[in-house]
Amino acid sequence: MVKGIRVYEHGGPEVMKWEDVDIGEPKSGEIKLKNKAIGVNYLDVYMRRGLIPSLCPPLTFTPGMEAAGVVIAIGPEVTTCKVGDYVAYAGFPVCSYTEEMILPADRVVPVPPSIDPIIAAAVLFKGLTAHVLVRSCFQIGPEHTILVHAAAGGVGSLVCQWANALGATVIGTVSNEVKAVQAKEDGCHHVIIYKQENIVDRVMEITSGKGVDIAYDSIGKDTFEESAACLRFRGYMVSFGFASGSPEPVKFSVFSDKCLHFTIPSMMLYTKAREDLLAASEELFDNVAKGVLRVRANHKYPLSQVAQAHLDLEDRKTTGSVVLIPDN
């Protein structure tokens, strides 16, 4: 038995129960991982609240989709890693809020010696998402001007840094002055504090009325129409999160006058093939090691205090990544 979090009903942070969990032993093609650090993502909140039925595991479940640690046991027919290796995973299965866990061996990636496990857990899910956004679903280059909502958040921070390194002009939105400072440090050429300025007006002022090439929107309901209004003719609307809730039913007239493109990319689908997962994670960790990407593991909580971590995340009190540290 190990300690972990169990969810018996959907709801607020209080539904996450700290208790003994029996994880068993690895079967064929599986490994047992002793977690050193566990990443927290907004998708964990959606699952805890039951907001996306197609993604939510059946009750009862252990939340969490990202962690890094050391392999302590392997099942038969595992050839991709060995006991003692440091590895990380991001995506499915949903099970990471525990001291130890069982994972499919083909879904973990090696963590280079230069990358601390806390950094690996803080960056893999968000970093693979950022990779999809700037390298896969759209190839960012020097000719592009982009809009990034929640520019000081876990994914937003990485998107801004990566796009800046690729030569793009980056416009970020944040809620306050403190986050504006971080967004500037992370590569935003222009920062809009949305509580003080009109996003659409500022974007059009910055772009001389042309609009941006791509709008990266992880907020959803509160920003969807603004994002569309900020786009240039034949611009790309990239929706990858719903922190404020799902948008109202889309009025396609919003897109028709500009011939806009719309996509909802999924990191899990883009990295479904192991070769794609390995290539993306290698590029990500290489950029972290070289200092191209600064990983902001700004908030660390004991695993047993995950409810407070979720509260702070939902109240938008966090910047960068939130990481849970196992209590053992």
Domains and CATH numbers, the chain: 2-125+271-325 (3.90.180.10), 138-264 (3.40.50.720)
120 in helix, strand or coil?
helix
pLDDT, average across residues 84-101: 95
CB 236 within 8 A of CB 264: no
- Give percent of the chain above pLDDT 90: 79
- The pLDDT tens digits for 260-308 are 888 899 898 999 999 999 999 999 999 999 999 999 888 999 999 999 9
- The pLDDT tens digits for 229-267 are 999 999 999 998 776 667 666 666 666 778 788 889 989
pLDDT at position 260, please? 84
- Say what the pTM is: 0.90
- CA 280 vs CA 169, 263, 319: distances in Å: 23, 20, 24
pLDDT at position 251, please? 67
Question: Where is mean pLDDT largest: 49-53, 181-185, 224-228?
Answer: 181-185
Tokens of 295: 């990983």
Which residue has 């290796």 as its token pair?
A: 85
Q: Residue 142 — φ and ψ, nearest 5°?
A: -60, -20
- CA 235 vs CA 45, 46, 126, 240, 246: distances in Å: 30, 29, 24, 16, 21
Distance from C-alpha of 194 to C-alpha of 207, rounded to nearest angstrom: 17
Torsion sign across C-alpha atoms 271, 272, 275, 281 = positive
pLDDT at position 252, please? 66
